[in-house]
Chains A and B, each alone.
Chain A
Amino acid sequence: GQQLNQSPQSMFIQEGEDVSMNCTSSSIFNTWLWYKQDPGEGPVLLIALYKAGELTSNGRLTAQFGITRKDSFLNISASIPSDVGIYFCAGQLRGATNKLIFGTGTLLAVQP
Chain B
Amino acid sequence: GAGVSQSPSNKVTEKGKDVELRCDPISGHTALYWYRQRLGQGLEFLIYFQGNSAPDKSGLPSDRFSAERTGESVSTLTIQRTQQEDSAVYLCASSAQGDTEAFFGQGTRLTVV
Contact = CB atoms under 8 A, between A and B. Distances in A.
A101 B101 contact: no
Interface in A1-39: 1-3, 6, 30-31, 33, 35
A92 B44 contact: no
A33 B101 contact: yes
Interface in A82-105: 88, 90, 92, 97-105
B50 A88 contact: no
Interface of A is mostly: strand
Interface stretch (B11-19, B69-77, B78-86, B103-111): B103-111
Contact of A104 (B33, B42, B107): B42
Contact of B106 (A1, A41, A90): A41
Interface of B: 4, 31, 33, 35-36, 41-46, 48, 50, 53, 56, 58-59, 61, 91, 93, 95, 100-107
How big is chain A's contact interface, by range? 20 to 34
B45 to A, nearest CB: 6
A57 B103 CA distance: 19
A74 to B, nearest CB: 15
B45 A42 contact: no
Nearest to B105: A42
Contacts of A102: 35, 42-45
B56 A97 contact: yes
- Most A C-beta atoms less than 10 A away, residue of B41, B101, B107: B101
25 contacts: A1-B44, A1-B46, A1-B61, A2-B45, A2-B59, A3-B42, A31-B100, A33-B101, A41-B106, A42-B4, A42-B104, A42-B106, A43-B43, A45-B102, A48-B100, A90-B43, A92-B100, A97-B48, A97-B50, A98-B31, A98-B50, A98-B95, A100-B45, A100-B100, A102-B45
A103 B42 contact: yes
A44 interface: yes
Contacts of A100: 33, 45, 93, 100, 102
Nearest to B61: A1
B43 A88 contact: yes
Nearest to A91: B100
